[in-house]
Amino acid sequence: MNNKKTKFNTWVTGNNFNPRARLRLFCFPYAGGGASLFHAWAKMLPDDVEVCPIQLPGRENRLKESLFTQWPELLQHLKIVLQPMLDKPFAFFGHSMGALISFELARLLRPQYNITHLFVSGCPAPQLRYFKSPIHQLPDAEFIEALQQRYQNIPQAVLQEKEMMALFLHTLRADLTLVETYNYVASEPLDCPISAFGGLQDKTTSRDQLAAWSEQTSNTFTQHMLLGDHFFLKSAKNYLLQLVSQCLQSVNYP
């Protein structure tokens, strides 16, 4: 392995330590996103759930660290740094790129650990090929234009600040390299329940693409469509967390 840090306190952020927790919920952000997205979630989830936001290198408090662009390296690092925290039942939540990461990490861990629940959000099922042309290698101007057309959610403050935009593009290119070079390998379905969430106005993930996640579990599958575009997890956060809470409260764990 290279010189990337593997201390779990740099990977799991927030102040949500909960000694009463019976279950840990690890949360994985979308491309270009950081762990701060999940810092307020603990207040809206059951008291016995410990929220563990995952901070990938190259953003927020890890801005100066090298970014990952290769799946095997990223997944092996995550396996190592999270193992000390898998001493309790756990679930994963991932949005967009985070959904792919959480799914592949669940498959990597299953010989040793059984994930309690997998929540996937704003992401087509992994066995479906992406039909959009890759954009991660485009020149900056074309890259920005493609991002705006696809996601329509780049803050104007970022677009107008050259230094901030340069950092944002560097992180986003690395993350989209992961997304656009993802290669699904067929395997046995997970034996945990999967809940899939989509935005009714999300142009990146259709209802049918989301429903195809049902093929990835031998357990129960539920699908929920929420108001909002690709970033509905912000605009419809309250309803989303109500649904997540209901699932976690129904789990029979020790």
79, burial (CB in 10 Å: exposed 0-12, middle 13-18, buried 19+): middle
Per-residue pLDDT reduced to its tens digit, 126-150: 999 665 678 787 887 787 788 777 7
Nearest Cα to 146, choosing from 155, 133, 157, 158? Answer: 133
Handedness of CA 236, 59, 57, 9 (dihedral sign): negative
Q: What percent of the chain has pLDDT over 70?
A: 88
Give catalytic residues, as residue numbers: 96
When the pLDDT of each residue in the chain is averaged and rounded to a whole number, the result is: 88
Instruction: Give the per-residue pLDDT at 222.
Output: 97
Give the Cα separation of 54 and 2 in Å (integer). Answer: 20
> pTM of the prediction?
0.90
Q: Write down the CATH superfamily of domain 8-129+183-248.
A: Alpha/Beta hydrolase fold, catalytic domain (3.40.50.1820)
Residue 152 has pLDDT above 50, yes or no: yes
Which amino acid is present at 122?
A: G
Distance, in Å, from the CA atom of 94 to the CA atom of 30, rounded to the nearest integer, reads 7
d(C-alpha 56, C-alpha 59), whole Å: 7
pLDDT digits (tens, 9 = 90+) for 64-122: 899 999 999 999 999 999 999 999 999 999 999 999 999 999 999 998 998 999 999 99
Q: What is the per-residue pLDDT for 64?
A: 87
- pLDDT beyond 90 at 245: yes
